Amino acid sequence: MNVNTLTAGFGSPFLAPRGLPIRSAPVPAAQAARTLIMSRARVMQVVAVLLMLCLAAAAAMVLLFYPAVAAGDATQAELARNLGYGAGVVGLSVAALTAFYRWTAPWTAPFYALASGLFMSGLALGFEREFPGIALQSLSLTFAVFLVLWVLHGLGLIRVGRRLMVLTYTATAAIGLVYLASFLFWLLGQRLPFIHEAGAGGILWMGFIVTVASLNLLVDFERIAQMEGRQQPSYMPWFVGLGLMVTLVWLYISVLRLLARIRR
């Protein structure tokens, strides 16, 4: 299964457009009683913790597999990739569960961060054997996009209205449907070439996904801004931070695949 099948569309369960509330499981009374004033600083503190956990898990994978991968060991590269896929499935399942049980976010968000670190590094190591340096390039570009969009949105130079939100989620859902169709074709022994292959079509498709993932970041930033200064449940910074991490992971994997197709 293609990696984007695991990631496309999972920014939306966390931060839905205004007027499109998410149905969530009932919150335990003890959790519902704890509230705080939401702030972007608090969310970024949570995101920083999650990023550190993610990078720690990725560093462990690199220390374990990179020497063999750098030496051209295809078996170790494939093992790292498979471990990454397994961690991705587990992490995505936890994130999807948290979308319905939001109050669990303080516990599930760190777990997701660790799993996503294994996921991203496993796939990056799989590509690293064929395209040396691609993992660091993808990481640098992802953080560059994140910081640029964060600053531009914070300065008010990019405005995110309802139309852009709906467009972003529509495009995200369309990507998910395309990969679902691709999976069904795969079961029938067929392939959609522009999704899985290099060439102009594949590069344009991955460029489109990177663009949509970046738009999801803007939507995440806007929802955080809308919550700022409001009374929210104490678990909400972790829930919002988890949503932002899901988008960042999607963006990183998309950038990684785009660079791989360009370098083929």
Residue 26, CA atoms < 13 Å, CB-side half-sphere: 3
Q: Residue 84 — pLDDT band, cuts 50, 70, 90?
A: very high
How far are the Cα atoms of 9, 118, 250, 262, 263 from residue 6, in angstroms, in the given order?
9, 14, 9, 22, 23
- Helices of type H across the chain: 3-7, 29-32, 40-70, 74-100, 105-128, 134-154, 162-187, 193-196, 200-227, 236-263
- Domain, as residue range, for 84: 33-263
Q: What is the DSSP letter of 232?
A: E
Q: What is the DSSP letter of 157?
A: S
Q: Which run of H or of E encompasses 37?
A: strand 35-37
Query: What is Dmax (Cα atoms) for the chain?
Result: 55
Is the residue at 247 inside a domain? yes
Q: What is the DSSP letter of 108?
A: H
Is the residue at 19 inside a domain? no
Model pTM score? 0.86
Is the residue at 26 inside a domain? no
Q: How many residues does the chain have?
A: 264
Is the residue at 7 inside a domain? no
Is the residue at 94 inside a domain? yes
pLDDT in tens, 194-216: 777 777 888 899 999 999 999 99
Residue identified by tokens 């522009």 is 194
pLDDT in tens, 219-247: 999 989 988 888 888 899 999 999 999 99
Is the residue at 256 inside a domain? yes
Rg for the chain, CA atoms, rounded: 18
Is the residue at 84 inside a domain? yes
Q: pLDDT over 90 for what percent of the chain? A: 59
Is the residue at 2 inside a domain? no
Instruction: Give me the number of domains the chain comprises.
Output: 1
How far are the Cα atoms of 9, 64, 169 from residue 17, in angstroms, in the given order?
14, 41, 8
